[in-house]
A and B are shown apart, each in its own frame.
Chain A
Amino acid sequence: EGGQAAGDEPITLSYAFFAPAASFPAVQMEEWANQISERTDGQVEVELFVGGTLLSSGDIFDGVTEGVVDIGMDSPAYDTGRFPFSSVMNVPIGMDSAETSSRTFLSLLEEYEPEEFDGYEIITAFTTEASYLQTKTPIQSEADIAGMSLRAAGANVPVLEELRAAPIGMSMAEVSEALNTGVIQGYMSSREVMKDFGLAESIRSVTNYPFGTSNSFVAVMDKARYDALPESVKTVIAELREEMMLFASQGHDESIQAAIDFAKDEHGVEIVEVEEAARAKWDKILNGQADQWVKTNGDSYFDAEGVLARMRELAAENAAR
């Protein structure tokens, strides 16, 4: 398919993602497709395959390598075996907006050029906001959360275990049913799901305490095929890298506010604060996660301690914007 064109030949690029068209990463794809077509005067057309119609999460980067599609976007952070560098985004350091953590993630990828993305050109990268506890009964203290069955994924699982909650793994699609049958009393996730998965009707409370970034996304193109693109097209792709990161994360932050308003107004969901005593203890547990991450990645190909320190620096800079 596309890739080998030179000069002003028409180019068609295919672009795959696992989540539905209405999800914010997919909305970003649509915007990228429009922008690139506009800025190349129609030379580049993009065919989108969203909702896992072509490739599922976990297979997308290999699909790009094998030429199933030209560009693919996937979530690297949960596959810590393959993407140890990206898993730094799982470390909870208190970044509370998608924009802050997205700026931080893209900067880290650009500065370190981690070898887990060797052979790929990064088209863009961004993240969701932090994870929050969203539950049927308010959680404000240690006693409130003890023994509670909560749906969680990835790096949030050990955190919940330390909080003496009972984390349960299941797909987001099953959460509504599990809440309604009482199998779980809540879940830990970014907050747009209250609206997008219709979960606001099944919960009563959101605890205003950010845990680690809920999910991250990296869109890549095969390096060799990227290099074969005309210079003019490469320039456009490069200028869209940061623009798309901002488009996606700012749009996500706005949808979070909309989801919170929806949950409050339509379903009477309350936003509660953590009690002072509990907050100190929770902060300590989250700090412990950072030490744990450095230890786990001690013999990785990158300097774990340095990467984490740089992430904290970038996060502080970006939060101050």
Chain B
Amino acid sequence: MSPMLLAVLSIVVLLVLIFLRMPISFALFAVGLSGMVIFAGPGAALQLIASDIYRQASSYSMVVIPLFIFMGQVIFNSGMSTKLFNSAYKWLGHFPGGVAATTIAASAAFSAVSGSNAAATATMGAIAIPEMKKYGYDKKFAGGTVAIGGTLGILIPPSTALIIIAVQSEQSITTLFRAALFPGVLVGTLLVITALVVAWRKPALGPVGPKATWGERFRSLGGTVEIAVIFVFAVVGMFVGWFTPTEAAGVGAAGAVLIAVLTRSLTWAAFRRSVTETLRISAFVVLLVVGAVAFGRFLTLTRMPFELADSVQALPVAPVVVLLIVLLIYLLGGALMDGLGFLVISIPLFFPLLSALGYDLVWTTIIVALVTTLGAVTPPIGVNAFIVTGIDPDISIVDTFRGVAPYFVPYVLVIAAFIVWPGLILFAA
């Protein structure tokens, strides 16, 4: 069997197993492992899978995921998130979709201290989904909002994706972070507006609440102080140089526990529940990432991604057509596997190609980051959508994929605008 055929076949088998209800991470392991055995023999396959698991599970950056999830769980289980949403509801609840808008704004704020989509989705999901359910939100709208909010995780700096790109294509991390800030905030703002517009056109999706008095509104702010302190301490502490984003995860978690204990809102039972839930969500997220890495490793072994790049490069068309084809491949890659896993494989292939065509590397990075992060909410493999279901089994994966659909509009507009006016990104870099 030719390597290419084996690679294509493995993708088909993967999809079949997933649709036969095999947990997605398990299917990635099973197909990746079998593919490696067929392609490189059992000895090589065992060596590869073991090293992948060990490297991923022992990495400093991986422990950030449980830490940020833990912070969200403590905020959630101590009732701080409820108070935040009560307050947001008093201010925004009388708009249709007000809580959804708040969810995205909060995801954007959270993304400023978190480098990963998974952490942003899991944390904000744990807080926002119960609140939206409580206020009678449509579950597609609720799931889609949380999942799309999570895509800001690797868009708004700090960002694991940008760090990976910076290192692999030898760019400055600082420059990329600076360049990503405006696009990230712009996308975040447009997503908030989209949430409001969606609910304004179909108020049943995000029911309007009672209008609170100004007195009630300002009094409700008292309940948000704790959460604001945690966020501000983590963000400000990072920007004034007390600690790195990774340490911010630890500070955020410790701060959440400390404040919850001081305000007597964290019982021993709630603390234990926070730990248990954190570990369960982390187990799911991390197994998924490791599975995607293992499967991606097998694809690399077949050299399928390399062949793909070569055939694109050979096309006799204008540079912008090549760019669009590359973006399409990123979209497909992000659809089929973990976005970060696809990034690692594809950077060495496409970045030199686009650079040779005259595209600025910083600009290319931000465009690729925009498309990559969308991969987390595109079917069939959309990590953010899976996390939403992991948090609330009532919201099916299909519900979330449907709920995400309207949010593609601002993304497509932003990507198109940046292609037409590259200066929108490059002015900050």
Question: Are A and B close enough to touch in the complex, i.e. CB under 8 Å?
Answer: yes
Report which A residues bind B (CB closer than 8 A). 1, 20-23, 47, 49-56, 58-59, 62-63, 65-68, 170-174, 176-178, 180-183, 196-199, 201-202
* Chain A residues with CB under 8 A of B243: 181, 183
Say yes or no: A67-B41 contact (C-beta < 8 A), given A62-B51, A183-B243. yes
Q: Once the chains bind, are A56 and B55 in contact (CB under 8 Å)? A: yes
Q: Once the chains bind, are B55 and A197 in contact (CB under 8 Å)? A: no
Say yes or no: A198-B172 contact (C-beta < 8 A), given A54-B297, A178-B244, A181-B241. yes
Q: Once the chains bind, are A56 and B174 in contact (CB under 8 Å)? A: no
Chain B nearest CB from A224 CB (Å) reads 13
Q: How large is the interface on B (under 10, 10 to 19, 20 to 34, 35 or more residues)?
A: 35 or more
Q: Does B317 contact A (CB under 8 A)?
A: no
Q: Once the chains bind, are A53 and B345 in contact (CB under 8 Å)? A: yes
Q: Does B47 contact A (CB under 8 A)?
A: yes
Q: Does B23 contact A (CB under 8 A)?
A: no
Q: Does B380 contact A (CB under 8 A)?
A: no
Q: Once the chains bind, are B41 and A55 in contact (CB under 8 Å)? A: no
Q: Does B43 contact A (CB under 8 A)?
A: yes
Say yes or no: A177-B40 contact (C-beta < 8 A), given A59-B55, A63-B51, A183-B243. no
Q: Once the chains bind, are A202 and B244 in contact (CB under 8 Å)? A: no
A-B contact pairs, 28 of them (CB 8 A): A20-B348, A21-B348, A21-B352, A47-B303, A53-B297, A53-B300, A53-B348, A58-B51, A58-B55, A63-B47, A63-B51, A66-B43, A66-B44, A67-B43, A68-B47, A170-B60, A173-B166, A177-B174, A177-B244, A178-B244, A180-B241, A181-B243, A181-B244, A182-B241, A183-B243, A183-B247, A197-B170, A198-B171
Q: Does B333 contact A (CB under 8 A)?
A: no
Q: Once the chains bind, are A181 and B239 in contact (CB under 8 Å)? A: yes
Q: Once the chains bind, are B344 and A52 in contact (CB under 8 Å)? A: yes
* Chain A residues with CB under 8 A of B347: 51
SS of B interface (majority): helix
Q: Once the chains bind, are A20 and B169 in contact (CB under 8 Å)? A: yes
* Chain A residues with CB under 8 A of B55: 56, 58-59
Partner of A197, one of B40, B47, B172, B177: B172
Q: Once the chains bind, are A198 and B173 in contact (CB under 8 Å)? A: yes
User: In whole angstroms, what is the CA distance A225 to B352 when docked?
Assistant: 33
* Chain B residues with CB under 8 A of A54: 48, 297, 300-301
Say yes or no: A20-B48 contact (C-beta < 8 A), given A177-B158, A198-B173. no
User: In whole angstroms, what is the CA distance A52 to B168 when docked?
Assistant: 10
* Chain A residues with CB under 8 A of B174: 176-177, 180, 198, 201-202
Q: Once the chains bind, are B348 and A63 in contact (CB under 8 Å)? A: no
* Chain A residues with CB under 8 A of B166: 173, 176, 198
* Chain A residues with CB under 8 A of B43: 66-67
Q: Does B175 contact A (CB under 8 A)?
A: yes
Q: Once the chains bind, are B348 and A171 in contact (CB under 8 Å)? A: no
Chain A nearest CB from B178 CB (Å) reads 10
Chain A nearest CB from B361 CB (Å) reads 11
Q: Does B163 contact A (CB under 8 A)?
A: yes
Q: Once the chains bind, are B241 and A176 in contact (CB under 8 Å)? A: no
Q: Once the chains bind, are B348 and A50 in contact (CB under 8 Å)? A: yes
Chain B nearest CB from A35 CB (Å) reads 21
Closest A residue to B296 by beta carbon equals A53
Q: Does B46 contact A (CB under 8 A)?
A: yes
Chain B nearest CB from A228 CB (Å) reads 16
Q: Once the chains bind, are A49 and B300 in contact (CB under 8 Å)? A: yes
Partner of A67, one of B40, B241, B242: B40
Q: Once the chains bind, are B48 and A63 in contact (CB under 8 Å)? A: yes
Apart from A181-B242, A198-B172: 17 A-B pairs, beta carbons within 8 A: A1-B40, A53-B300, A59-B47, A66-B44, A66-B46, A68-B301, A170-B60, A174-B163, A176-B174, A180-B174, A181-B238, A181-B239, A183-B241, A196-B170, A197-B172, A198-B175, A201-B174
Q: Once the chains bind, are B239 and A56 in contact (CB under 8 Å)? A: no
B379-416 vs A: 1/0 string, CB under 8 Å? 00000000000000000000000000000000000000
* Chain A residues with CB under 8 A of B177: 177
Q: Once the chains bind, are A20 and B170 in contact (CB under 8 Å)? A: yes
* Chain B residues with CB under 8 A of A66: 43-44, 46-47
* Chain A residues with CB under 8 A of B48: 54-55, 63, 68
* Chain B residues with CB under 8 A of A51: 168, 344, 347-348
Q: Once the chains bind, are B169 and A171 in contact (CB under 8 Å)? A: no
Q: Would you list the 4 A-B pairs with minimal beta carbon distance, nearest first? A: A198-B172, A182-B241, A66-B47, A59-B51
* Chain B residues with CB under 8 A of A58: 51, 55
Chain A nearest CB from B112 CB (Å) reads 14
Closest A residue to B55 by beta carbon equals A56
* Chain B residues with CB under 8 A of A68: 40, 44, 47-48, 301
Q: Once the chains bind, are A176 and B173 in contact (CB under 8 Å)? A: yes
Q: Does B245 contact A (CB under 8 A)?
A: yes
* Chain B residues with CB under 8 A of A196: 170
Chain B nearest CB from A222 CB (Å) reads 11
* Chain A residues with CB under 8 A of B241: 180-183
Q: Does B167 contact A (CB under 8 A)?
A: yes
* Chain B residues with CB under 8 A of A183: 241, 243-244, 247
Chain B nearest CB from A98 CB (Å) reads 18
B32-54 vs A: 1/0 string, CB under 8 Å? 00000000110110111001000
User: In whole angstroms, what is the CA distance A22 to B170 when docked?
Assistant: 8
User: In whole angstroms, what is the CA distance A247 to B301 when docked?
Assistant: 28
Chain A nearest CB from B243 CB (Å) reads 7
Chain B nearest CB from A130 CB (Å) reads 22
Q: Once the chains bind, are B170 and A53 in contact (CB under 8 Å)? A: no
B167-197 vs A: 1/0 string, CB under 8 Å? 1111111110100000000000000000000
